[in-house]
Amino acid sequence: MRKHLGEMSDIQVVSTLLQVQGLHVLDLGCGPGHNARLLAESGADVLGLEPDPVQAERNRESPAFPGVQLSEGRAEALTQADESVDGVFLFRSLHHVPMDSMDKALAEAARVTRPGGFVFVLEPSIQGSHTALMLPFHDETQVRGAAQQALDRAARGLFASHAQYACLQHIRYESFEQLLTRFSSMSFNDISAKKIDQPGVREAFSKGRDDQGFSFDQVSLIDVFRLA
């Protein structure tokens, strides 16, 4: 049974559930490093690993940030030594791992985590108006479901304890053009602006209008595993 935390950002969820100050952690599938920087601001020493070579190159060219190192690497093939980190984070990245490698990615996370450490996984559910908005051009129903199945298997075999939570998040856009730019510029997904810009998507987008632009809700699922 998941405990609902209410409306929270990623870093608010982390701050509510974990203490990261002084810890050495991995952020797997870190993207441009946004959450890695927030973790560092909370006192962690963070290594962010990004599997997409295009984004990884962008990260190498980005300005340095205290407490953060960004590098290229895959969750299912970590080069870190056994029991070498205090915790591992996967923010919306498990469902991007090839489905036949999700179990391996979680096993790798467990392998590199020290006894008493944690593996924190935040995944988007299929609930919410943002998921419905995405469906015509980027249907992640199958891969998100596969990620949840992999987490269930991991809970039964890899870890000493498992706690489950959920939270409500909002994704905001200033305009439809911002939506187009966000998805069509992703180097790890082949989504053209033409595929996004269709009447049904524009109609669904218009229903998200509020006083500050356009807002869509997303239920996120959080799994926190502990090692003995």
3-state secondary structure of 209: strand
Q: Evaluate if residue 188 carries a pLDDT over 90.
A: no
In a domain, 40, yes or no: yes
What pLDDT was estimated at residue 190? Answer: 84
For 88-117, the pLDDT digits (tens) are 999 999 999 999 999 999 999 999 999 999
Q: Tell me, what DSSP letter sits at residue 75?
A: G
Total count of domains within the chain: 1
- Report the candidate in 42, 51, 47 with the shortest Cα–Cα distance to residue 21: 42
Q: What is the CATH number of the domain that holds 120?
A: 3.40.50.150
In a domain, 199, yes or no: no
Average pLDDT (176-192) is 91
Beta strands, E only, the chain = 3-7, 24-28, 45-50, 68-72, 85-91, 113-124, 161-173, 209-210, 213-226
- DSSP letter string over 124-136? E-S-SHHHHHHTT
Asked if residue 189 has pLDDT above 90, the reply is: no
Q: Is residue 18 part of a domain?
A: yes
Q: Kindly give the pairing relationship between strand 213-226 and strand 209-210.
A: antiparallel
Model pLDDT for residues 14-28, shown as the tens digit of each residue:
999 999 999 999 999
Q: Is the pLDDT of residue 186 over 90?
A: no
**To the nearest whole number, what is the mean pLDDT of the chain?**
96
Mean pLDDT of 29-56: 97
- Average pLDDT estimate for 189-195: 90
By C-alpha distance, which of 37, 134, 135 is closest to 89?
Answer: 37
> What does the pLDDT read at residue 187?
83
b/e map of 171-191 (b: 16 or more CB within 10 Å)?
A: bebeebeebbeebbeeeeeeb
* pLDDT above 70: percentage of residues in the chain: 100
Sign of CA dihedral 217, 147, 137, 173: positive
Within-domain flag for 60: yes
Q: Is residue 31 part of a domain?
A: yes
What is the pTM for the complete model shown? 0.96
Residue 162 CB burial class (10 angstroms; 0-12, 13-18, ≥19): middle
Mean pLDDT for the stretch of residues 154-158: 93
Instruction: Tell me if 61 is assigned to some domain.
Output: yes
Q: Is residue 15 part of a domain?
A: yes
More confident residue, 187 or 154: 154
CA distance 29 to 74: 8
Separation CA 174–CA 172 (nearest Å): 7
| 80 domain-assigned | yes
Question: According to the model, what pLDDT value does residue 55 have?
Answer: 95
Residue type, 130: H
Q: Which domain holds residue 102?
A: 3-125+139-169+219-226
